[in-house]
Copies of this chain bind each other. A is one copy, B any other.
Amino acid sequence: MDGITVLGYAACAVTALTFLPQVVKTWKEKSAKNVSLMMFLIAFVNEVMWIAYGVLRNDMVIIVTNVIMIIMCSVMISLKLKYKDE
């Protein structure tokens, strides 16, 4: 594995964590008034596309990264719908 591939894996690992702080913050505050639902809907769509791309390319790093992201994204969408006006 070359250095560029390692960088790609590291980028995937950091990317997978992106939504976690928002999920934790919303969970704790029980409020998501200023959070954009559309952002997470777009993220959901692009993660479905990335998972399909990963499956077709047989690329486990892309699949794992985007499965983690789509789970967090789904949690965030449900939290947003639950706390949308609070």
How many of these chains are in the complex?
Answer: 2
Instruction: Identify which of B14, B18, B29, B39 contacts A34 (C-beta below 8 A).
Output: B29
A60 at the interface (CB under 8 A from B): no
Size of the chain A interface, CB-CB below 8 angstroms = 36
Residues 12 to 28 of chain A near chain B (Cβ within 8 Å)? 14-15, 17-22, 24-26
Interface on A for B, CB 8 Å cutoff? 4, 7-8, 10-11, 14-15, 17-22, 24-26, 29, 31-39, 42-43, 45-46, 49-50, 52-53, 56-57
8 chain-A/chain-B pairs, Cβ below 8 angstroms: A4-B53, A4-B57, A7-B52, A14-B49, A21-B39, A26-B34, A32-B34, A33-B33
